[in-house]
Amino acid sequence: MKTKLLVLILVLALSLSMGVSAQETINIAVPTDPDSLDPARAIAAATAEIAFNVYEGLVKSTSGGSVVGALATHWEIDETLTEYTFYLRDAYFHNGQKVTAEDVVYSLERARDPQTGVKAADFQAIKDVLAVQDAVKIILNEPYAPLVYELTELAAAIYPANSNKLASNPVGSGPYKFVEWKPNQYLKLTQFNQYWGDDTLYFEDVYFRIVPDFNSAVASIKTGNIDLIPRLDASYLHQVENDPRLNVISTPMNLVQILGVNNNRPALQDVRVRQALALAIDRDEIIMAAAWDQGQPLYTGMSPAMDYFYNAATETILPYNPQRAQELLAEAGYSDLRLVLELPAPYQTHIHTGEVIAEQLRQIGVTVELKIVEWGMWLDKIYNGRDYDLTIVGLTGKLDPHTILSRYTSDSGKNFTNFASEEYDQLIFLGKQVPEEERMAIYKQAQAIMTEQVAGIFIMDPDQLVITNNQIKGWRSYPVYVIDVAALYK
Amino acid sequence: MSFVVHKLLSFVLTLFVISIVTFMALNVLPGDPAVVILGTEGNPMALAQLRMELGLNINPIQRYVQWLSNLLRGDLGYSIRYNVPVTTLISGALPLTIQLAVFGVGLALLVSIPVGISQAISQGSFATNLGMVISQLGMAMPAFWLGIVLINIFAVKLGWFMPSGYASVASLVLPSIALAIPRAAIFTRVVATSIDETLRQDYLRTARSKGLPERVVLYKHALKNAAISILSVVGIHLTQLLAGTIVIEQVFGLPGFGQLILAAVTQRDFPLVQGLVVIAAAFILFVNLLIDLLLVVLDPRIRLE
């Protein structure tokens, strides 16, 4: 009798305890697999937004776009602006080891060695990384203001010294640790109990499910198989916006959609012709037609999402004015201009934008031939080969203005519009040399030049559409690719 | 015996030619894995570095020979995109695609054989004409559209199935139906016309005049004869599906062969594309061989030569 009672109590206790620790799971739909879970090997933004939960650097981005300490509590910059000291916090890796200065040195050395780090070129400013007790000193060749922003990137994440096989067994110090990855199916994470942060994590398990098709993602969130879609294409908005079970959150993406104008093409070398093309663009019409009215117009190479550095005055430099455009074309002697506009497939927003632009340019007498080019071919011929007249692409946002704007300097390997302005080059050079508080004015001036001289014609920052089932709360938007699972709760 | 040797030889030779053609096509295609990996963050320095790491600076002939010698040892190399062995990826995706292909074609046959027979023997009736209209509609409907409709009805509205992803065999029900409907329509027409044709043959008139019951005439003689043309058509569809049901896998979020091919080609994942093409080709050749053998069994006039 006694044993029976005991068993009964045990069973009761067991079932109770199981009830209390009811594991909450969240399913997030992402369109593609990560490229590599090794921070030194990863490039895709799709990887960074997942890895944000697993890995941390010395510093990290906030949702407002500023930088705060992650594995470092705080940092100091000496008066020469070339020596940074980061003070480490008490934190642990997912394998239970304490995070040490040696781990930081190891990870950063691996990131900046071209043999091991695919993004080594981003860390060229660094001369040396030294462990000093519980701190790490980063010595630069010359002042480089973007450093702390670049240290927020996945490439600068910290992992245990001498770890190998990070690609299949990632070990970080973030709020969630890696469980398993089934390519083309899902990536699973689970709570890390020794995380230093004091946020209590609501979700025990996290599944990033690979759903390449938006139709399936929408169907799955309606049936509850998916709880969150971090980036829905605007053309699917009508399927979700009136569903009472779902929430739509719309935020700027910090992406720059650019009509690339090849500054080396004979006709386009004339700044008046480039200005004429810029004046012919009606951005509101494009946003309506190509992005279902979900986007912010852009007049310069930076999104208003970067509110501290963004130069709002650029909006009045070359606003929509087709008459002025025709006058400029006549002045330049190009009354019968013919250009080819090459659009990257399968990016529907860019293709639709191109169709509207072709029509808008026809209004000022420019004949535009549209060509659709497969992405790999586009990268080869247009982006890297710079063999085109006009093209459209989206450039993903970065935290630091230098990283965004240095692309258009005349000697940059990423300057696919072949923009060349000495004044601009000098400003960008200056911007990384001066203390933080002097940078804003410099970048605002650089933006004015790139708009006035038409480094490219900037169209819009399409909104990021986040769809959640209406029980999920706490979504935080970032100006970079981040899905901050730790912030989510029910 | 010489038949088997001959078939085996042509099997290997075809595979070899296919692998060379794929390799050449991939090398001629603009854009390489390094370009796609770096995307709009690429610059000449980073490109050169990455190309060296991926071994793309080695000359293509040398690369092909290396790949071939590894293949002979059963090693298909590492996927550039996923950083795991190609064989792991393929063996993960293949079972799903085989099941999907077999279910799709099987389901189509299950419907089309009885319907086709009844159409052949009761021509001109209202039911037959209605059947013709339905099968015409079935042929006209693209499988991906059917897929979306099925998802909306049976997964979203009724909640009977998961709308996307693979959890169990149940996840294959809707995609199999989506694949089966257009094929059932085609097979029904094939069954109906070939039975109808056979029924007009002299030997069947003889069979009937001998006093054989209509049932025996139909199932023993006519169906056996019609089976030859049905089998050929089924073979074509089965091999088509084995090579990847790209669109259906995309619509239903199934991690099969087709998804893998799509990802591999867009990412210019050379080793993965090579591996997928060779395995898919081997499968197609194998199914064709099976069909050839079955045809021999069914029709003694076809010789093993």
Q: pLDDT higher for A23 or B156?
A: B156
B82 touches chain A (CB under 8 A): yes
| A216 vs B45, B92, B164: nearest CB | B164
Task: Report the pLDDT value the prediction gives residue A7, as an integer from 0 to 100.
Answer: 53
Q: Which residues of B touch A32 (CB under 8 A)?
A: 263
- Inter-residue contact A366 to A449 (CB < 8 Å): no
d(C-alpha A285, C-alpha A293), whole Å: 9
* Whether the predicted pLDDT of B217 surpasses 80: no
Alpha helices in A113-188 (DSSP H): 147-150
List of chain A residues whose C-beta atoms are within 8 Å of the C-beta of residue B164: 211, 213, 216-217, 219-220, 225-226
CB contact under 8 A, A168 and B84: yes
pLDDT (tens digit per residue) in B22-80: 888 888 888 888 898 888 988 888 888 888 888 888 888 888 898 889 888 888 888 88
Q: Is the pLDDT of residue B170 over 70?
A: yes
Nearest one of A427, A131, B294, B195 to A419, comparing CA atoms:
A427
The residue with tokens 């008066």 is A79
Q: Closest approach of chain A CAs to the CA of B41, in angstroms?
A: 7
Which residue is listed with tokens 């980063």?
A: A138
Residue to test with chain B: of A27, A215, A398, most B Cβ within 10 A: A215
Q: Residue B266: which of A120, A375, A396 has the nearest Cβ?
A: A375
Q: Would an 8 Å CB–CB cutoff place A114 in contact with chain B? A: yes
For residues B262 and A471, give the distance between their C-alpha atoms in angstroms, rounded to a whole number.
35
* A261 within 8 A of A314, measured Cβ to Cβ: no
Which secondary structure element, helix H or strand E, spans residue A11, and what is its range?
Answer: helix A2-20
B260 in contact with A, Cβ within 8 Å: yes
Q: What is the pLDDT of residue A16?
A: 44
Q: What is the predicted pLDDT for the residue at A178?
A: 97
- Which chain A residues have a beta carbon less than 8 Å from that of B163? 216, 219-220, 222-223, 225
Q: Which of B36, B93, B156 sits opposite A379 (nearest CB)?
A: B36
pLDDT, tens only, B121-132: 777 778 778 877
What pLDDT was estimated at residue B303? 62
Cα–Cα distance between B35 and A167 in angstroms, integer? Answer: 21
The verdict on A185 touching B (C-beta cutoff 8 Å) is yes
Chain-chain contact of B46 with A413 (C-beta, under 8 angstroms): yes
Give the C-alpha separation, B68 to A377, whole Å.
Answer: 27
User: pLDDT tens digits, residue range A406-453?
Assistant: 999 999 999 999 999 999 999 999 999 998 889 999 999 999 999 999
Cβ–Cβ pairs < 8 A, chains A and B: 137
Query: How many Cα atoms sit within 13 Å of A334 on the Cβ side?
Result: 22
Query: Which amino acid does the sequence have at A188?
Result: K
Contacts of B19 (CB under 8 A, 6+ apart): B68, B71, B274, B277, B278
Smallest CA–CA distance, residue A368 to chain B, in Å, is 24
The answer to whether A154 contacts chain B (CB < 8 Å) is: no
Instruction: Kindly list the residues from chain A whose CB atom is less than 8 angstroms away from the CB atom of residue B92.
Output: 182-184
B216-254 b/e (C-beta count within 10 Å ≥ 16 → b) = ebbeebbbebbbbbbbebbbebbbebbbbbbbbbbbbbb
Q: What is the DSSP string of chain B?
A: -HHHHHHHHHHHHHHHHHHHHHHHHHHHSS--HHHHHHGGG--HHHHHHHHHHTTTTS-HHHHHHHHHHHHHTT---B-TTT-SBHHHHHHHHHHHHHHHHHHHHHHHHHHHHHHHHHHHHSTTSHHHHHHHHHHHHHHHS-HHHHHHHHIIIIIIIS--S-SSS-SSGGGGHHHHHHHHHHHHHHHHHHHHHHHHHHHTSHHHHHHHHTT--HHHIIIIIIHHHHHHHHHHHHHHHHHHHHT--HHHHHHHT--SHHHHHHHHHHTT-HHHHHHHHHHHHHHHHHHHHHHHHHHHHH-TTS---
Chain B residues whose CB is inside 8 A of the A48 CB are none
pLDDT at B223: 79
Other CB atoms within 10 A of residue A32 CB: 17
The single-letter code of the amino acid at B69 is S
Q: What is the largest CA-CA distance in chain A?
A: 105
Residue whose C-alpha is closest to residue A256's, from A421, A401, A64: A401
Give dist(CA A271, CA A278) in Å, integer: 10
Cβ separation A215–B30 shorter than 8 A: no
Of residues A220, A217, A244, A243, the one with CA closest to residue A232:
A217
User: In Å, how far is B56's CA from the nearest CA of chain A?
Assistant: 15
Structure confidence at residue A480 (pLDDT): 92
User: pLDDT-derived band of residue B195, with 50, 70 and 90 as boundaries?
Assistant: confident
Residues contacting A295, CB < 8 A, separation 6+:
A234, A287, A460, A461, A462, A463
Looking at chain A from residue 209 to 268, which residues have their Cβ under 8 Å from any Cβ of chain B?
Answer: 209-213, 215-217, 219-220, 222-223, 225-226
Q: Rounded distance, CA B96 to CA B238, Å?
A: 14
Q: Tell me the shortest Cα–Cα distance from B34 to chain A, in angstroms.
A: 10
In this complex, do A118 and B46 lie within 8 Å of one another by their Cβ atoms?
A: yes
Residue bearing the bigger pLDDT, B167 or A257: A257
The mean pLDDT values, 10 residues at a time, for chain A of 490 residues are 52 45 84 90 90 96 91 95 96 96 96 89 92 94 93 96 89 96 92 88 95 90 94 92 94 94 96 96 96 94 92 96 96 93 93 97 96 94 96 93 95 95 96 90 96 97 95 93 94
In A, which residues are within 8 Å of B166 by CB distance?
Answer: 185
- Reduced to 3 states (helix: H, G, I; strand: E, B; else coil), residue A98 is strand
B295 touches chain A (CB under 8 A): no
Using CA of residue B36, residue B37, residue B39, residue B43, what is the dihedral sign?
Answer: negative
Asked if A380 lies within 8 A of B45 by C-beta distance, the reply is no
- Report the candidate in B253, B262, B238, B270 with the shortest Cα–Cα distance to residue B103: B238
Q: For an interface test with A, which of B41, B156, B161 has the most A Cβ atoms less than 10 Å from its Cβ?
A: B41
A376 contacts in chain B (CB < 8 Å): 29-31, 35-36, 266, 268
Question: Looking at per-residue confidence, does A312 or B222 come out higher?
Answer: A312
CA A375 to chain B, closest CA, distance in angstroms equals 8
Q: B216 pLDDT band (50/70/90 cuts)?
A: confident
CB contact under 8 A, A381 and B81: no
Amino acid at A471: Q
